[in-house]
Amino acid sequence: MHAQRPDVYSLVIWPSMIFAYLLVALRLGNFDEWVAGLFYDAQQNGFPLRHAFWTQSVLHDGARKVFTGFAVALAVVVLASWLPTQLREWRRLLVYLLVSIIVSIGAVNLGKRVTNVDCPWDLSIFGGDRVEYGLLGDKPEMAPVGHCYPGGHSSGGFSLFALYFVGLAVGMRRPRQMLLPPLLLGSILAIDQWMRGAHFPSHDLTTAYICWMVSLLCYKLLLNGESTRPTRVEVACPPERS
């Protein structure tokens, strides 16, 4: 027997309520600034880990290259699924996974372009030269444009929320296990950016929410929100010679 499929409350309403509550708590409770302050050094007038080897070269630049390689490999596998191989039975799921990842990252990057929010390291309270206007503040037109909300780097990890919906589609008994990779990877990449002064926690919380909703939307559109068990492709065998 398979686990009961989640309803709209567990997929939409509860995640949205949790997101809204945490976002308000982070902003009104000044938790964003408190976290950034943990990694800010007043004597250096900046974030010491901004250009450190592990935070920049490994967890930022290196992780980005690894994920790019993964996305390219996934695209190659999707193309190969149109060949007469066993990948054909997984084509629909592979297409969903690739599309969901691309759209999730694209939506986050689009948000960065239109929200006009600065990074912590840009703000005067953390050694920068800009005034903080917040998420909904009336920022003057002459002020420098910010591209830091939501968090872009963690979208690579959180975009893997699509794995959970792949688990649902194939009828896994415990599809929630598939939430571990995106939550773990997304959190690691997010914390790395907090340490560097690139983002506040609220930035990456929003990224996680966007990736979750995009993964759900793609699941409904591409997989019809139904079980999509791969069926084995039968290969015709030549008749035996008498």
Poorest-confidence range of 62-71, 81-90, 127-136, 231-240? Answer: 231-240
Q: Please check whether residue 229 lies inside any domain of the structure.
A: no
Mean pLDDT of 10-32: 95
Q: Please check whether residue 234 lies inside any domain of the structure.
A: no
For the chain, the average pLDDT equals: 91
Q: Please check whether residue 228 lies inside any domain of the structure.
A: no
Domain residues for 154?
8-135+148-222
The larger pLDDT score, comparing residue 8 to residue 24, is at: 24
- Outline where the chain has alpha helix (H): 8, 14-28, 31-39, 63-80, 91-115, 155-158, 162-169, 180-196, 201-222
pLDDT in the model for residue 242: 43
pLDDT grade for 4, boundaries at 50, 70 and 90: low
Q: Please check whether residue 124 lies inside any domain of the structure.
A: yes
How confident is the model over 163-221, as pLDDT tens digits? Answer: 999 999 999 999 999 999 999 999 999 999 999 999 999 999 999 999 999 999 999 99
Region of residue 105 (left: phi > 0; alpha: psi -120 to 50; beta: else): alpha
Mean pLDDT of 155-168: 97
Q: Please check whether residue 238 lies inside any domain of the structure.
A: no
Helix (H, G, I), strand (E, B) or coil at 242: coil
Secondary structure string (H, E, C) spanning 176-203: HHHHHHHHHHHHHHHHHHHHHCCCCHHH
Q: Please check whether residue 214 lies inside any domain of the structure.
A: yes
Q: Please check whether residue 227 lies inside any domain of the structure.
A: no
Q: Is the pTM of this model over 0.85?
A: yes
Q: Please check whether residue 230 lies inside any domain of the structure.
A: no
Count: domains in the chain:
1
pLDDT in the model for residue 134: 80
Q: In angstroms, rounded to a whole number, what is the distance separating the alpha carbons of residues 124 and 132? A: 8
Q: Is the pLDDT of residue 227 over 60?
A: no
Q: Is the pLDDT of residue 101 over 70?
A: yes
pLDDT in the model for residue 2: 52
